Structure 1
Amino acid sequence: MNTIEMSGKTIKDNPSQYVKLNVGGSLHYTTIGTLTKHDTMLRAMFSGRMEVLTDSDGWILIDRRGKHFGTILNFLRDGSVPLPESSKEIAELAAEAKYYCISELTEACNQALLKKGREVEALCQVPLITSQVEEELLITSTTKPAIKLLINRHNNKYSYTTTSDDNLLKNIELFDKLSLWYKNRVLFIKDVISTSEICCWTFYGHGKKVSEVCCSSIVYATDKKHNKVECPEARIYEETLNILLYETRNGPDQELMQATSTRGAVSGMSSYTSDEEEERNGLDRLRAKKNNPT
């Protein structure tokens, strides 16, 4: 019977004999028959054509990463294996298969990578929150600034004005547009479960709320109250530009915050008042001009 010399130790060339393998710290038991079943580098190692090293405990040492060696062994045993799901792991397995000169497995991995390359992957993903806890986890765990749109058309406590439905759609369309433009820089979140508002934008920086734009209000008609929904695009664009200043961990520069705000910023953030408050502010300015003509 043939023998194989291995660092002062001999292993009988018996297909059913088990050997111990240490592949980059990953330990495996297998048989000589499995290792020599196909025409690979492993067959060369265990047929005497290549030097094989062992440690003091008798483990045969292979200086490769051991993450995918179990898959390599299963392929040698069965002739086929399920491939990993991710392209990254398929590429890793292909590199190991190429090193061990397992041409069939290498080709299978390359074909799988080509197929995945032709698949269309989603470039923009917007999570729909399912709870308040989930929302907090998303906002506090991301390193990006975040924008949340709350849309609740079913909050129908009062009837809607004639333009409200159109403005709801405009808010959704604007949100979708911004999420495509800034998908790599901002975390966009959609809230369709909250009942506190009908339509509201909230902007977060460094895991904390910076500002919000509420797009709904109550108006009074002769017969009853009405829910009114608006789409203040200029305000939303402004706050989006402001929130981009939170991309760095040092925080936004106060002068930049003021430069991006049409109304100025206080303490590093812009705040919006309700329609009624803006009307009152406008009347106050008119009175001031009237009392102090230039």
Structure 2
Amino acid sequence: MTAYDDDHCSRIVKLDVGGKIFKTSISTLTKHDSMLKTMFVTRIPVKKDDEGCIFIDRDSQHFRLILNFLRDGQMALPDSDREVKEVLAEARYFLLDPLIELCEERLETSISPYYHVVSTVLEARKYIFATEKPVVVLRLPVYIATNGSQCYYFSETKFREFAELHHKLVSFVLITEPEFNEDCSWTFFLKTKKITARVKGPADNNLLEDCFTQLLEDVKERRRESSVSEDN
């Protein structure tokens, strides 16, 4: 490495990440293969804000964790699975494979006993069609987790609460899709019909509650039919 390279790598840079300023060295940003390394070792154009800081159009909430991982090659992940998913979304954006693996390993070991977690609709089908229970599927767009989206937080919270209460009578499947970029999509597979609901946030609570009501009526009907069948 030349003296010029040493000077270049030790240079301090300012990054404007979603409006918040971070200061770090080029050596930190280029320590691991990632999109950030590509930005500083190639001549690809970069955007700058009015103050001359390199602008990155991402939510700043977890960027500190990204920098810590770049510095040390390891980090303590948040306790919340939801926050780990948010960090995972950022790691995927920055193409930081070791952090992607760390997040995915953590999520694999903390899956809820109340529902199945898959990453594609195709994977979900094996759970939808392999049970006699009614099924609730939540298709969750992971990419919006980092934007503080009401859609994401509201739907995930309702899904977890309902799964914990009714998992013995209803099968629950959570699809977390990095490429899915629409509103949270709920699908209720009942005995004689399928209900689909697009949920943007708390304002759609009544719509969701109506779907839950129909779901529980379906559960009751199945139990009545089962009871009659046993009596005969």
Normalised by the length of structure 2, the TM-score is 0.46
Q: Which has the higher contact order (CA 8 A, sep 6+)?
A: 2
Normalised by the length of structure 1, the TM-score is 0.36
